[in-house]
Amino acid sequence: MLRRLDIEELKRLAEESGFAIEPAEEEQFSVLSDSILGILDGLDAQAPAEFPVVEAVRDPGRPPEPGEDPNNAIVRWCRVRAESEDGVLSGKRITMKDSVAIAGIPLTCGSRVLAGFPIGSFGRGARSSRSRTWTTSRSPEAETPATTERR
């Protein structure tokens, strides 16, 4: 269970963040803090989710060619295709932020400093501001992947 914060600690944290908790707001901030920490306690008490590993063809793709991205929105054209899976995303083009680690797809976390980040078998998890789009279908006509990014 996470330690609860008393009002003096909440006031100190507020001051460090550049705002003040007025006396009339103290009870509201205390209730809010306790509620948020209670939610986190509940999440912490849950058993970890089990995610089955899905075998897929993973094409790390390529950056866009000059002229392919006039809005500077694409970071990588790529493809992840599960041959034997039929699920709710099958046949759909989806977008993932470039902070979500996908096994076999380069991850930059929205930074040129991390361009060329090693491709590994991460699977899932990570954080960033870029996004990648690809097809999740078995049908050939739906295999045109695209990766998007807002810089």
| Residue 1 belongs to some domain of the structure | no
Same domain, 94 and 113: yes
Residue 59's beta-bridge partner residues? Answer: 79
Domain total in the chain: 2
Tokens 């709710």 appear where?
88
Same domain, 38 and 68: no
| Residue 2 belongs to some domain of the structure | no
pLDDT of 148 > 50? The answer is: no
Tell me the average pLDDT of the chain.
Answer: 75
Same domain, 41 and 70: no
The whole-angstrom separation of Cα 13 and Cα 107 is: 34
Same domain, 67 and 41: no
Confidence (pTM): 0.43
> Are 101 and 126 in contact, with CB atoms under 8 Å apart?
yes
| Residue 58 belongs to some domain of the structure | yes
**Over residues 91-102, mean pLDDT:** 77
Same domain, 150 and 90: yes
| Residue 25 belongs to some domain of the structure | yes
The whole-angstrom separation of Cα 44 and Cα 126 is: 19
Same domain, 63 and 129: yes
- Phi, then psi, of 53 in degrees rounded to 5: -80, 130
Instruction: Select, from the ranges 33-42, 119-128, 134-143, the one with the highest average predicted confidence (pLDDT).
Output: 33-42
Question: Which pLDDT score is estimated for 117?
Answer: 58
Question: Which pLDDT score is estimated for 104?
Answer: 80
What tokens appear for 130 in the block? 């870029």
Same domain, 21 and 72: no
What digits encode the pLDDT tens for the residues 10-44? 999 999 999 999 999 999 999 999 999 999 999 99
